Amino acid sequence: MNQDINGCLHILTAKQFERNFLEYLFRLTDQIRKIAKSKEGMLFLSNLLPHKRVMLYFTQPSTRTFLSFQTSCHILGMKTSEIRDPTTSSEQKGESLEDSLRTFSSYVDLIIMRSPVAGLCDRIARLLNETYRPISVINAGSGPDEHPTQAILDLYTLHRGFEEKGGIKGKKICIIGDLKRGRTVRSLSKMLSLYEDVTIYFVSDPSLQIKEDLRESLLKRKNLDFFETDNLLKALPHADAIYMTRTQSEYELDINIKLKNAEKYHLKSSHLKLLKEDCLILHPMPRCQEIDRAIDLDPRAFYWRQERNGMWTRVALISKILGVDDRILLPDLPSY
Ligand code: NCD
């Protein structure tokens, strides 16, 4: 984990993580979930950071990630402010994004940001590092590029789902759908290579296969094998977990016009018999038509708990960034 010289821990990319850090975060998340089961526990958590303020700068559509982060901050007692619509900001008067965000940073202790601009979070984190009051930046989705906190919650969901089955090590994961523009796919596949002997089956229409830069970066990773195919039915029986994604129709509309066979990559109830009995089905959400609603009732459907895991892993991450993780892990906590 790279910690910059000013001591601010930024969460910018899947590439920055090490296995030890993830395992620590998962332990912290487990402990937070245990603590949160009682009223005393919830009050303890809400007393950890009531003196801290956070800004949610979300200028790309978001409800679940926005609410998930906002709720995580509230669980820790933090005060939140938000920018959702850049047309109400001085950016409209010609101010640069850098100046806007530097201004906002002076009111808060942490910035969580989602933007359609790839690389903006990195630019802002670098800029803030050079100021006399650096604060941490969390990337909550940067264009079609990265979504590292989604990958953390996806891995935590897999980690829990495979707890009794030897963990993530050696598992076969089928990632299906829009692999070209889905940022969650990019962050998750990079982070899966932190586990030994994982195999990824990338299943998609040939026009939506992973981008060349991701392919090249995965080829360099010793721990990971991957295959690319357009044959969903052949891939499904191998999967220990399936990760469904939606067509990212907000990008490159020309592809959507050509994409007449998206349905070929949808998970239907009739496919359930092809899956392993204990296969985990994940989806970063929102769902369009990629998963039949009837599948929600199947015990293999993990996507709803995946969303809740997102909130808890974000509580863990923020508590680590703002330095109260030790207090959560202390053995002499009040009884819950
Ligand atoms: C994802 C995203 O925004 O990239 N959603 C999310 O944050 N849970 C996936 C998507 O929008 O398809």
Tell me what the mean pLDDT of segment 295-305 comes to: 98
Distance 14 CA to ligand 1 centre (A): 15
Residue 108 to residues 32, 74, 79, 111, Cα–Cα distance (Å) = 24, 15, 9, 7
Q: Which of 161, 126, 143 is nearest to 4 (CA)?
A: 126
Distance 175 CA to ligand 1 centre (A): 14
Q: Is 114 in the pocket of ligand 1 (CB under 6 A)?
A: no
Q: Is 306 in the pocket of ligand 1 (CB under 6 A)?
A: no
Residue 331: pLDDT band by 50, 70, 90 thresholds? Answer: low
pLDDT score, position 290: 95
Among 109-113, 181-185, 237-241, 248-252, the range scoring the smallest mean pLDDT is: 248-252
| Nearest CA residue ID for atom 7, ligand 1 | 65
| Nearest CA residue ID for atom 12, ligand 1 | 246
Q: Is 64 in the pocket of ligand 1 (CB under 6 A)?
A: yes
Q: Which of 48, 91, 65, 73 is nearest to 329 (CA)?
A: 48
* Residue at token pair 């650096």: 134
Structure tokens at 318: 């923020």
299-303 LR contacts (CB < 8 Å, sep 24+): 300/272, 300/275, 302/157, 302/161
Cα(145)–Cα(30) distance, rounded to whole angstroms? 29
Phi, psi of 181 (to 5 degrees): -110, -5
Q: Is 64 a catalytic residue?
A: yes
Identify which has the larger pLDDT, 5 or 57: 57
Q: Is 147 a catalytic residue?
A: yes
pTM score of the predicted model: 0.95
307-310 LR contacts (CB < 8 Å, sep 24+): 307/64, 307/68, 309/29, 309/153, 309/156, 309/157, 309/160, 310/64, 310/65, 310/68, 310/149, 310/150, 310/153
Distance 284 CA to ligand 1 centre (A): 6
User: With 60 as the cut, is the pLDDT of residue 3 above it?
Assistant: no
- Which of the following is catalytic: 13, 29, 59, 65? 65
pLDDT score, position 186: 97
152-155 LR contacts (CB < 8 Å, sep 24+): 152/17, 152/22, 152/25, 152/191, 152/313, 152/317, 153/306, 153/309, 153/310, 153/313, 153/314, 154/184, 154/188, 154/243, 154/282, 154/284, 154/306, 155/22, 155/188, 155/191, 155/192
* Distance from chain centroid for Cα 63: 14
Q: Is 65 a catalytic residue?
A: yes
192-236 pLDDT, tens digit each: 999 999 999 999 999 999 999 999 999 999 889 999 999 999 999
Dihedral of the alpha carbons of 129, 130, 135, 139, in degrees to the nearest 10: -50
User: With 70 as the cut, is the pLDDT of residue 11 above it?
Assistant: yes
Q: Is 285 in the pocket of ligand 1 (CB under 6 A)?
A: yes
| Nearest CA residue ID for atom 3, ligand 1 | 141
| Summary mean pLDDT of the chain | 93
* Residue at token pair 């592809």: 255
User: With 70 as the cut, is the pLDDT of residue 256 above it?
Assistant: no
141-176 pLDDT, tens digit each: 999 999 999 999 999 999 999 999 999 999 999 999
Q: Is 144 in the pocket of ligand 1 (CB under 6 A)?
A: no
Q: To the nearest 5 percent, what fractions of the chain are helix, strand and coil? A: 45, 15, 40
Identify which has the larger pLDDT, 39 or 61: 39
Tell me what the mean pLDDT of segment 183-195 comes to: 97
Residue 1: pLDDT band by 50, 70, 90 thresholds? Answer: low
- Which of the following is catalytic: 27, 52, 64, 287? 64
SS3 94: coil
Distance 184 CA to ligand 1 centre (A): 7
Tell me what the mean pLDDT of segment 21-40 comes to: 97
pLDDT score, position 259: 66
pLDDT score, position 253: 60
* Half-sphere exposure at residue 193, Cβ-oriented, CA atoms within 13 angstroms: 21
Q: Is 284 in the pocket of ligand 1 (CB under 6 A)?
A: yes
Tell me what the mean pLDDT of segment 179-201 comes to: 97
Cα(17)–Cα(2) distance, rounded to whole angstroms? 8
Instruction: Out of 114, 184, 187, 265, give the residue to mutate to test ligand 1, the one with the largest number of ligand atoms within 8 Å of its CB.
Output: 184
pLDDT score, position 334: 54
User: With 50 as the cut, is the pLDDT of residue 336 above it?
Assistant: no
Cα(45)–Cα(121) distance, rounded to whole angstroms? 28
Cα(206)–Cα(182) distance, rounded to whole angstroms? 15
Structure tokens at 284: 């970063």
Q: Is 177 in the pocket of ligand 1 (CB under 6 A)?
A: no
Q: Is 244 in the pocket of ligand 1 (CB under 6 A)?
A: no
Residue 315: pLDDT band by 50, 70, 90 thresholds? Answer: very high
Residue 314: DSSP 8-state: H
Tell me what the mean pLDDT of segment 116-136 comes to: 94
Residue 257: pLDDT band by 50, 70, 90 thresholds? Answer: low
SS3 268: coil
